[in-house]
Structure 1
């Protein structure tokens, strides 16, 4: 057996080579017909228009853009650490932050892509970083060049890649169904909220600023992340989803950074957190007493409970009436975001205080089944993602014979 950094042992008949010996970097000119190709974090590399166009910032002048061709191994220099590595299914062009490669004659680019993504998702790429900022880690071409890769015989690489192509398609198909189930559960929650507020549609709404004791927006730059685990955590937009704040995946910071970033006031249990961007409009209520502070693009709303229950404030953000406002206030032709000032202007229903407890009970009872369904779907998605990555890791390290692993002909329709 041989050992490879981040992957462990691989079969003894495999070789181990630095990436620069199996990959040839490409620097092509852009053609007039080329459209933008994006490397997504799930490993798909395709024309941006094939997936989505919101959430991106397009360059006015495409300085340094390069040609990408179908079959290229594409590595995103800033998002590669999170899995933005794959084989392009399209011709097009990409920004300078992307680097593209053609595999040599004894290497299958698909196998290398699966291997590099496994290394990235294990955290290995982060250890190679030349600089760290929130949500990205530099993984440039010189760094990749020296990464050691396991190199099975070509026929074995193709067999592994064919197996993984077939199996991941099956897993992804099941995952899509669970994502649809989760989406339906959230639509059901919105319907419950809308029905509860229907009796107040004729009543005037009030600016959210008039029913809050405090509204805090994150005006800091990116906080320096601690290399050690500390009790001081940064809440990111990815932690805020579907009425809840999930703190299981947060960045740690030093106590001094925590104190500095909370100089305008620390978040408290019951605060409603709202994302102004990436994506716009997610909301959740903070629970528990963890030591946290707001990351970028988040606003905090603290209900004045002499006027509005904190739950009613949260439910306002989950209703269709809030979505309509966000569509009007969301600025930017390239991606949706909301300015801090507009976050003060959002209008909310504020029923008479004596009616709010009953309204809270009504909505919570209606949400319960939908939240259970959503939680089930999310847990299944997590298990499928774990299964998918475990399968990939085992295959690219030769832990099983992929030709018999699934009990079916996984290479049907593709050449060996």
Structure 2
């Protein structure tokens, strides 16, 4: 048993000659960050031509291990062993490190090594960059010390973990299906109540005090609680709250033009979460919004902003967002498109009862979804603990799996 630096076992971010041999119009697999998941959620269905990804993208091939380099995806343990690429070649986001295993390390064992708690903890400590945009340097991967059993032992460990994690992944998939069903049922209930209460549809801009506006483009991030909070895309949680773990602030002079009022709506205008929405409330404290968020200041004498936020959870809303998406490198919905959204108009006397009913429905649904989420967290913890224990030799995998390794050869 020995500890070997990873650079002696694998190539880090190597060249991919197979990519260079493709013709410009040849198609290959395209893998954006949202497609990178460690189980059946790995999505290899996207296609691009070589010419479309010739510059500004990471290249890789079948058998490579892809390691996300940016927070929080790195900490979420989303490294994958890539197989089944179209023509054996792929390209994807530059936020991936490519680790190409050599002959002395089993690819599956390497994959589990970069999914251990130890690896993730050490990698997080090596990150550089500003808060919210920190990345793991490739020097961390090159210098990583890997506990290296013999190849037969590596394969025995990998086989054991393949079986055990597959069982955990099936349980996790069932929990995700449950959460998705609850989310779907919630959206249908919200849509039904809104349609029953509304008399007609209007453009969002017709219930606003001013045209939708963009936020501040400030790169500096501070943690001053006596300054206005700087609300960014990453701060907005799915349940309509703000994440305290990502708190940042702006100097008062920089924030002044972009300060939020109670009831203001925020919409994400680009990226993977385009369309996500949020209602600012005064209880969150003084705050300004970032440039990737569009502010819509609702006229409270016409419409309660939380009713509009509830509409933003429905299929009707997401269909409009999808139709309004400008196809570019990054999906984008501009302020004008948001202003032209068709929303249900509800008379003043029906707004409070409708809002009360929706609050009750959604509170119950999200309690159930939180329970499913806690179960997913427990399964993820179990999965990572098992991987860490097996890879680091904390228990005898050959005994646990009912197999023995004799003279370097696994036997039953």
Which TM-score tier does this pair reach, normalised by the shorter chain?
0.7 to 0.9
CA deviation digits over 1:2-28, x for unaligned, max 9?
Answer: xxxxxxxxxxxx422221112135423
Distance of 1:359 and 1:297 partners within structure 2: 31
Q: 1:179 aligns with which of 168, 171, 176?
A: 176
- Whole-angstrom CA distance in 1 between matches of 2:200 and 2:381: 48
Cross-structure match for 1:10: none
Give distance in 2, aligned partners of 1:202 and 1:268.
Answer: 28
TM-score, with normalisation over the residues of structure 1? 0.77
Compute the displacement of 1:62 (Å).
Answer: 0.4
The corresponding residue for 1:104 is: 102
Is 2:154 aligned against 1:157? yes
The answer to whether the Cα contact below 8 Å between 2:255 and 2:288 also exists between their aligned partners in 1 is yes
Q: CA deviation at 1:332?
A: 0.8
SS in 2 for 1:124: helix
**Does 357-366 or 120-129 show the bigger shift?**
120-129
| Cα pair 1:240 1:273 within 8 Å, conserved | no
Contact 1:235/1:295 (<8 A) preserved: yes
Structure 1: runs of 5 or more not aligned:
1-13
SS in 2 for 1:349: strand
CA contact (8 A) 1:45 1:88 kept: no
- Label 1:400 to 1:304 Cα distance change in 2 as closer, same or farther (>3 A): farther
Q: Is the 8 A contact 2:204 2:339 kept in 1?
A: yes
1:127 paired with 2:119, answer no
1:335/1:171 CA distance change after superposition, 3 Å = farther
Q: Which residue of 2 aligns with 1:273?
A: 266
Q: Partners of 1:131 and 1:143 in 2: how far apart? A: 15
Partner residue of 1:62 out of 47, 54, 58: 54
TM-align CA RMSD: 3.9
Alpha-carbon distance, 1:296 to partner: 5.2
Secondary structure (helix, strand or coil) at the match of 2:346 reads coil
Deviates more, 1:352-361 or 1:107-116: 107-116
Q: CA deviation at 1:338?
A: 0.6
Distance in 2 (alpha carbons) for counterparts of 1:218 and 1:37 = 32
Residue 85 (structure 1) aligns with: 79
Q: Could you state the TM-score of these two structures normalised by the residue count of structure 2? A: 0.78
Aligned equivalent of 1:339? 334
Alignment check: 8 A CA contact 2:36 2:80 kept:
no
> 1:314: which partner in 2?
309
* Counterpart-to-counterpart distance in 2, 1:181 and 1:45: 16
User: Is the contact made by 1:62 and 1:95 (CA closer than 8 Å) also made in structure 2?
Assistant: no
Separation of aligned partners in 2, 1:100 and 1:204: 50
- Quote the offset at 1:219 in angstroms: 4.0
Superposition deviation, residue 325 in structure 1: 1.9
Structure 1 position 23 matched with structure 2 position 16: no
Q: Is it true that 1:199 corresponds to 2:196 in the alignment?
A: yes
Aligned residues: 391
Q: Deviations over 1:138-167 (max 9, x none)?
A: 523x44222222223333322222222222
The question of 1:114 aligning with 2:107 is answered: no
Structure 1 residues 48 and 219, CA, compared in 2 at 3 Å: closer, same or farther? Answer: farther
What is the CA deviation profile of residues 315-363 of structure 1, one whole-angstrom value per residue up to 9, with x for unaligned ones?
2222333223212211116654211332222232232212211111222
Return the alpha-carbon distance in structure 2 between the equivalents of residues 260 and 84 of structure 1. 40
In 2, Cα distance between equivalents of 1:92 and 1:46: 19
Change (3 A) 1:286 1:373: farther
Render the CA deviation track for 1:264-294: whole Å, top value 9, x for unaligned: 3444665433322322222234464356554
Deviations 1:112-153 (A, max 9, x none): 22222336873432433454474451523x442222222233
Q: Within 2, Cα distance between the matches of 1:340 and 1:410?
A: 64
Which of 36, 40, 45 is 2:29 aligned to? 36
Please name the residue that 1:11 is paired with: none
CA separation in 1, counterparts of 2:240 and 2:233?
Answer: 11
Report if aligned partners of 1:15, 1:151 keep a CA contact under 8 Å in 2.
yes
